[in-house]
Amino acid sequence: EEDILNVFEVAKKQFGGVDVCINNAGLGYSSTVLEGTTSDWKETLDVNVLAVCICTREFVKQMRERGVDDGHIIVLNSMSGHRITPLTSGAMYTISKHAVTCMVECVRRELREKKSAIKTTAISPGLVRTEFRGRMFKMEDIEESKRDYDNIVKDPVEAEDISSAVVYALSTPPRMDINDIHIRPTHQVY
């Protein structure tokens, strides 16, 4: 939490505050509910859920302090936050991403209750060619794990595709709030 608070303090001092908050941290372990370790679970929940909540809270707090009410919160979630993955080894990751799905909608509703114009967008990718899978399954060759996506699905989504969705959400007019974007490779089944 202290690291996050420091980032917002630096942003406030150097730039006068933050107008857009993009929550893009996330991790997962190959860990089931019945056999996973508590330390892996805690780290997954700390990064995937609590850090997103803290960043969101501090962002809105800074916006209010400045009297600004037209910011944008973007959360990079996951399709795992909308369904149960076929791999039971990703259970805690899936649980954490379901919590993020709920959190984003709760924040949107809280902002509407406060008559705030701050937007909330959750972008939930499916399989994206990144190092995530290699890190989750502790593969030795991270670059090889990125190439391995071609063995899982034809034409996996690329990181640039996700960043284009971020740009799209940010480019919408004030009257329009894109709440959820689900992105999967065309050939991804689940």
Q: What's residue 69's pLDDT?
A: 92
pLDDT greater than 90 at residue 25: no
Task: Return the pLDDT at 20.
Answer: 97
Measured CA to CA, the distance from residue 9 to residue 144 in angstroms comes to 39
Q: Say whether pLDDT at 134 is over 90.
A: no
pLDDT of residue 26 exceeding 60: yes
Share the mean pLDDT of the chain: 90
In the residue annotation, 149 being an active-site residue is answered as no
Phi-psi region of 173 (alpha: psi -120 to 50; beta: other; left: phi over 0): beta
pLDDT, tens digit (0-9, with 9 covering 90-100), for 83-127 = 998 888 889 999 999 999 999 999 999 999 999 999 999 999 987
- pTM score, two decimals? 0.89
Q: Is the model's pLDDT at 35 over the cut of 70?
A: yes
Residues above pLDDT 90, as percent of the chain: 71
Using CA atoms, how far apart are residues 60 and 65, in angstroms rounded to an integer?
9
Range among 17-26, 29-38, 104-113 with highest mean pLDDT value: 104-113
Taking alpha carbons only, the member of 62, 95, 60 closest to residue 77 is 95
| 148-170 per-position pLDDT tens digit | 766 677 888 889 999 999 999 99
Give pLDDT, residue 18: 92
Q: Which pLDDT does position 129 carry in this prediction?
A: 67
Q: Catalytic residue among 93, 149, 168, 190, which?
A: 93
